[in-house]
C-alpha cells in the first residue's frame, strides 16, 4: 500500500483558501486552528498555513508544447476519477493555466493532466495515467 504524503503550503488568507480546497476541490477538512487547516487531499494530508506576506514566485518549463508552472503539486488520480474531477473544476469556473488534456497521447507515459492555481497563486497539477504502470516509465 502506498503511504500518504504530508504537504504544508502557505496561503495568503486561510478562510479563502479553506473555501477553495473544501468547496471547490472537495477536500474533507480535518484539524484546524485560526491560521491553519488540515485537509484530506485524495487520501493525503495537505495543510494550509496562513502567511499574509507570502510572495509566490513562479517560473515555467516547456513540456509537450505548454509552459508548465514550477513549482507545483498535486495528485495522480485514477483515469475516470480525473475526468470527474476535471468536470467538477470546470463546473466551478476554475481558470486553468493549462486546460485539461491528454499529454503524450499514444506514447509511453500517456496521461491526462491539468494545471490551475489556488487563490494564493500556488500552482496545482492533477493527472492520471491511462496505464497506471507507466507512472515512472521512460
Could you read off the pLDDT of 44-94 as tens digits, one per residue?
999 999 999 988 777 999 988 899 999 999 999 999 999 999 999 999 999
CATH code of the domain in which 34 resides = 3.10.180.10
* Contact assessment for residue 111 and residue 101, using Cβ atoms and an 8 Å cutoff: no
Domain holding 19, by residue range, is 6-50
- 86 in the same domain as 24: no
Distance CA 45, CA 97 (A): 24
| Helix ranges, 14-128 (H) | 14-19, 79-91
- 102 in the same domain as 70: yes
CA 84 distance to own-chain centroid: 14
- 129 in the same domain as 74: yes
pLDDT value at residue 76:
97
pLDDT over 70, % of the chain: 100
Q: What pTM value is reported for the model?
A: 0.94
Query: Residue written as cell 503539486?
Result: 73
pLDDT value at residue 138:
82
**1 in any annotated domain:** no
pLDDT over 90, % of the chain: 87
Amino acid at each position: 500500500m502506498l503511504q500518504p504524503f504530508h504537504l504544508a503550503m502557505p496561503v495568503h488568507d486561510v478562510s479563502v483558501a479553506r473555501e477553495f480546497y473544501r468547496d471547490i476541490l472537495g477536500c474533507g477538512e480535518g484539524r484546524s486552528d485560526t491560521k491553519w487547516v488540515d485537509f484530506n487531499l485524495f487520501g493525503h494530508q495537505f495543510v494550509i498555513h496562513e502567511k499574509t506576506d507570502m510572495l509566490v514566485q513562479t517560473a515555467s518549463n516547456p513540456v509537450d508544447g505548454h509552459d508548465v508552472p514550477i513549482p507545483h503539486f498535486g495528485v495522480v488520480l485514477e483515469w475516470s476519477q480525473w475526468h470527474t474531477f476535471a468536470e467538477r473544476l470546470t463546473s466551478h469556473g476554475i481558470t486553468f493555466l493549462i486546460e485539461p488534456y491528454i499529454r503524450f497521447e499514444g506514447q509511453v507515459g500517456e496521461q491526462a493532466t491539468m494545471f490551475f492555481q489556488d487563490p494564493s497563486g500556488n500552482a496545482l497539477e492533477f493527472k492520471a495515467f491511462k496505464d497506471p504502470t507507466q507512472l515512472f516509465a521512460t
